[in-house]
Structure 1
């Protein structure tokens, strides 16, 4: 059985693909994740969390 892994998206990428990858992992619309990030960015923690995630989460492997 293949386990589900979190990757940065190659298809629904706007900046680094973090929001698209999280949306694909949880099977939700990427716009919802991006709106949540904007709300977190207003507090300042969202921007830091995004760039940390962009460093930590690997790119989606080529198909």
Structure 2
């Protein structure tokens, strides 16, 4: 009996990967931001501050992470964002059923 695996199936765990679309240099900050559910711009700012505080030593970690972090396959589904996962509020609301007023017995 052979089993076939779906290559586009979602992994049961988070995967640390460099995206192909949302990147400035190599996608390291974007990949870290996606993995930790943080804004990639915030990750870039933190990385820049740490680089300044360490006298440039932290900048040496960027090429290492770039080399070690695999690139996201081009057939990967788009990353879920708040805009794509949240349903519009107006479309999901239904009016509350009206209750008959005391003494209202309907049509006679």
TM-score by length of 1: 0.89
- 2:47 aligns with 37
Structure (1/2) with the larger helix percentage: 1
Deviations 1:1-60 (A, max 9, x none): 611110012122000100000001111111100001101221212211111100110101
Runs (4 or more) in structure 1 with deviation over 6 Å come to none
How many Å separate the matches in 2 of 1:33 and 1:11? 17
- Structure 2 unaligned spans of 5+: 1-10, 76-108
| Structure 1 counterpart SS, 2:72 | coil
For 1:1-63, list aligned pairs within 5 A: 2-42=12-52, 43=54, 44-63=56-75
For the aligned residue pairs, the C-alpha RMSD in angstroms reads: 1.2
- Structure 1 unaligned spans of 5+: none
